[in-house]
Amino acid sequence: MSEASNVQKNISIAFFLNASFTVIEIIGGILTNSVAILSDAMHDLGDTFSLGLSWYAERLAKRKPDSRYTYGYKRYPVMAAMVNAVFLLGASVFVLSIAIPLILNPEPVKATGMIWLAVAGIIFNGAAVLRLSKGNSINQKVVRLHLLEDTLGWMAVLVGAVIIKYTGLMWIDPLLGVMIAVFIIYNAIRNLKDALVIFLQAIPENTEKKDIKTDLLKISGVDSLHDIRSWSIDGVSHVYTLHVVARKEILPEDYPRLKQEIRKRLQASGFEFVTIEIDGSDEHCELENVII
């Protein structure tokens, strides 16, 4: 089986497991009357949603750019991540509005049921962490870290449920619910920020610190640069457009070599889409004062 179809199969398995576990959590949360479990269920609903989307996105990503979407479909997952973050923010605020008043006025919860659900959560997420422990791609590392956080969350629920069982302190449950919701909000805002930076066409992350301009100016035949624009399509594929003023001794027949060299350097820095305009040394380009 090819690497790509393996990834797809893994995502689809993870999606169905997560979806069924989310259903169990929602039912379990209602039966035990636990806000902590319901808060976690919101989180897993978000996970299920993003797994479903990345499953769909893997298939979409195979589509080539067309005359309508000239960069292809790479921004769809970024948009999906934004929708997911907004959903999680709304859901968490809803959970907070239930959980905060319950801290002051706690309702009885079924601690034994909570313990069983937490044990199931630890086994479920822990098994997924172990399954992914061999993968070394960045994406697999991110997913593993996320699952590890989920496992730790369930451990907190387990500890809380055991304390409730032996002390009867019911306010621990809504307090855990608030903590989980705050954690979800923190992550959702971070994801939203990452996606917004891409939509607002900021310089791609990780490339802003490299001195790309200095590097390009070292190429023989390059006199100066202007009208530089750079942004990212999806956080992985970046765009770079620029004007290059050629030195006096460079003849128009040398332009292809010059362009090739510039394109090579930019692609090595992670820019997939490169557009170069070469201005002759005595040409007065109307954009020559646009220095970015």
Query: Which residues of the shown chain bind Zn ion in the complex (CB under 5 A)?
Result: 47, 150, 243, 279, 285, 287
Nearest residue relative to Zn ion (C-beta): 285
Report the distance separating Cα 154 and Cα 217, nearest Å: 54
Question: Smaller CB distance to Zn ion: residue 75 or 243?
Answer: 243
Question: Smaller CB distance to Zn ion: residue 171 or 277?
Answer: 277
Which is it for strands 238-246 and 222-232: parallel, antiparallel or unpaired? antiparallel
Residue type for 8, please? Q
Question: Smaller CB distance to Zn ion: residue 234 or 279?
Answer: 279
Report the distance separating Cα 205 and Cα 197, nearest Å: 9
Q: How far is the CB of 247 from Zn ion (least distance, A)?
A: 15
Q: Find all residues with CB under 8 Å of 225, minimum gap 6, and list them.
A: 213, 216, 217, 242, 243, 244, 245
Question: Smaller CB distance to Zn ion: residue 170 or 276?
Answer: 276
107-122 per-residue burial string, b: 16 or more CB within 10 A, e: under 16: eebbbebbbebbeebb
Q: How far is the CB of 47 from Zn ion (least distance, A)?
A: 4
Q: How far is the CB of 150 from Zn ion (least distance, A)?
A: 4
Q: How far is the CB of 223 from Zn ion (least distance, A)?
A: 11
